[in-house]
A and B are shown apart, each in its own frame.
Chain A
Amino acid sequence: MTPVPRLGDDARASGWDRATDPEKDPALIPDPATCEVPAQLRETIEAAMARYPDRRSATIPALHAAQSLHGWCSPQALEQVACVMRVTPAYLDSVASFYDMLEQRPVGRHSVYVCTNISCSLRGADALLAAIGEAAAGDEENFNVRSFECLGACDIAPMASVDGVYVGPLSVEDVPQLLDDARSGRPVLPDKQLATRLVADPRANSQEFPAHAVEDGSSR
């Protein structure tokens, strides 16, 4: 019998269980003279800030850019963003800890988000997640496998988003190929990518497209 979990919730209000040092002074806006920011990152963030009436609107784009450089929202990444945006690192941490795609700790190079929401789990997503997790175990340097809330691709359930590329419907047999493709930088399961999929509605198109292709959801 599995006991009811009493602690360790998966709630979004994160950080409540992390210890803090009340004696410590809050970090200020970093000094541009001492904080080194890679030129490319600075350029990206400044361009993002210029797009909005208020520079703070660029927070999420800036954090995305910093994460793709550093691999996660590390203290150093936050400090660099804070330096360019002229905000405190704490402010950025408050934002970064809210969003699922901004990582709070070091993760593997390739993100594999497996949708485990209702529609996908009705079609076997939990077994898929377990299979991917098992196959990627021991290779944490390369893979960041995690379950994700509805990714908006229930028509190809069960599915996964591999470095942002949607693939599905997946079966357990696809897992080795999927990880192999991701590891070697090839396009992931080209036949199963969402990008090539036709719309399901058979009346949406003229007769040029074969009806059976629509029916079993195969690609063009």
Chain B
Amino acid sequence: MSDELLFKDIDEPGLNTLSVYEARGGYAAMRKALSMTPGEVLAELEASGLRGRGGAGFQMGKKVSFLPKGAMDKYLVCNADESEPGTFKDRELMQKNPHLLIEGIVIASYAAGAERSFIYIRGEYVLQADVLDAALAQAREAGYLGERILDSQHSLSLVLHRGAGAYICGEETALLDSLEGKRGNPRLKPPFPANQGLYQGPTLINNVETLSTVPLITAMGGKRYAELGTDTSTGTKLVSVSGHVRRPGNYEIELGIPSREIVYGLAGGPPEGQEIKCWFPGGSSAPVLTPEDLDVPYDFDSLAKAGSMLGSGAIIVVDDSTPIVELALKVAMFYRHESCGKCTPCREGTNWTVKMLQRIDCGEATPMDLDIMASVQDHIIGNCLCVLGDAMAMPIGSMIAKFRGEFEQHIETARMRANLIVPPVPADEQALFAHGAS
């Protein structure tokens, strides 16, 4: 494919230094943007149809336009707290091409009128944070950050903030709380961050990949970018493929290609002799799909129509050697650990789901537990401040719906293994049960 955008020459030695990046035409898009008005830059972003790459898939241009106009303290926050299981695309971008992200932040902040910006990077990404720190120092020295960038009217400060290990801080309002130095608890929405975000000021929050795409859009023009991909999912996307595939890793694809092409074509499919049992198309929060769904085009709307979501673009492939109960338990335990505990449905729902799955695994469960577990999931969805609980409920619910037979089988075999035989009903009580009396 000739239209590699984000990954073009990504492994060129020294690309993380300013000199190599500039030799490749870096920061030209920023110069171009600063010679336009903020409104024109925004118009290009809107024309590109770029949808947020962090998970929600909201149109970036629209998000920028939600910020109030006029002179006030506005903020831009780059969400680099990449913690969705299966996702590792931002890591690759930040480590190998940090200046692309910085350039994107300068352009986006110019369009949004923000003069203070932050990158919230997860604390575990030590190498990536060090690379970014070095790149930031170079950019500051070159005058690409700071007061009146390149003699324009635009000023921007950029601070790299390292987190300390919490999945929930990838949720935008929890991220803001964490950046303000508190526990990472999500906030009630509305007010949305575009109106009241960081330090109660209007705040634009975007993912690393989204912001890294901004210079490319500015350089090539929004219209041309929109020609890539499908009508509603424009452009290219980084996909992280992991799990039971032969070549796990990051791939750049044009949105709308068949999912099979990614799983089998690029990542090489499951190991010899194995078949795919199910796959997560967008991180562990996405409902699982079956091998029959592999022909679904990989874009936001097609995957939503197939009953799942594109999410962060992380495909996790699970082959038929893995018991579904084990998979469900892994998912549920992760969300139980990461639930911040603020909302009851999520805090209790994740905990009870884990306990019920453990019951199944040790032979204490009955098929009725599956219905109870499914109803627990239904009661989580839509009832919390953020979607962490939903992110467990959706995959678990889909697993119960699609693999119910296997769950029931597991209950039976676990019961046999544990020697828990259902006691026969005594003869003098049999009449009672036959009439359904209580």
Contact = CB atoms under 8 A, between A and B. Distances in A.
A23 interface: no
Contact of A122 (B125, B244, B267): B244
Contacts of B85: 117-119, 149-150, 154
Interface stretch (B35-43, B337-345, B396-404): B337-345
A109 to B, nearest CB: 16
Given A94-B183, A149-B334, A155 B7 contact: no
Contact of A149 (B82, B83, B164): B83
A194 interface: yes
Contacts, number: 220
B268 to A, nearest CB: 8
Contacts of B266: 201
B338 A12 contact: yes
B12 interface: yes
Contact of B166 (A99, A161, A164, A199): A99
Interface string A42-60: 0000000001111011111
Contact of A209 (B11, B280, B351): B11
A110 interface: no
A60 B163 contact: yes
A113 B124 contact: yes
Interface in A10-31: 10-13
Contacts of A51: 159
Interface in B317-336: 318, 322, 327, 330-331, 333-334, 336
B91 A152 contact: yes
A166 B347 CA distance: 31
A199 B124 contact: no
A113 B182 CA distance: 24
A94 to B, nearest CB: 6
Contacts of A209: 11
Contacts of A2: 362
B305 interface: no
A95 interface: yes
A149 B73 CA distance: 36
Given A3-B362, A61-B161, A152-B87, A10 B247 contact: no
B326 to A, nearest CB: 8
Contacts of A151: 124
Interface stretch (B22-30, B226-234, B248-256): B248-256
A117 B351 contact: no
B243 A204 contact: no
Contacts of A10: 333, 336-337
Contacts of A179: none
Interface in B85-110: 85-88, 90-92, 95-96
Given A5-B358, A12-B337, A118 B316 contact: yes
A94 B267 CA distance: 43
Nearest to A122: B243
The CB with the most chain A CB atoms within 10 A, among B243, B336, B362, B363, is that of B243
Interface residues of B, number: 86
A201 B199 contact: no
Given A117-B334, A164-B127, A206 B163 contact: no
A100 interface: yes
Contact of B11 (A52, A121, A164, A199): A199
A150 B248 contact: no
B376 interface: no
The CB with the most chain A CB atoms within 10 A, among B7, B322, B417, is that of B7
A53 B127 contact: no
Interface string B344-374: 0001000100010011001110000000000
A202 to B, nearest CB: 8
A200 B337 contact: no
Contacts of B11: 198-199, 204-205, 209, 220
B281 interface: no
A64 to B, nearest CB: 7
B181 interface: yes
B356 to A, nearest CB: 9
17 contacts: A1-B362, A12-B337, A12-B340, A57-B181, A59-B181, A64-B162, A100-B166, A101-B124, A149-B337, A150-B84, A153-B88, A153-B91, A154-B243, A157-B243, A200-B251, A203-B7, A205-B9
Considering the complex of A and B, which 8 residue pairs feature the smallest CB-CB distances, nearest first? A200-B249, A13-B341, A154-B242, A164-B126, A100-B165, A59-B181, A99-B164, A56-B181
Interface of A: 1-5, 9-13, 51-54, 56-61, 63-64, 94-95, 98-102, 113, 117-119, 121-123, 148-155, 157, 161, 164-166, 194-195, 198-201, 203-206, 209, 215, 217, 220
Interface of B: 1, 4, 7-12, 73, 82-88, 90-92, 95-96, 116, 122-127, 159, 161-167, 178-184, 199, 240-244, 247-252, 266-267, 280, 284, 314, 316, 318, 322, 327, 330-331, 333-334, 336-341, 347, 351, 355, 358-359, 362-364, 417-420
Given A98-B340, A117-B330, 7 more contacts: A5-B355, A100-B165, A100-B166, A118-B243, A122-B322, A123-B243, A150-B85
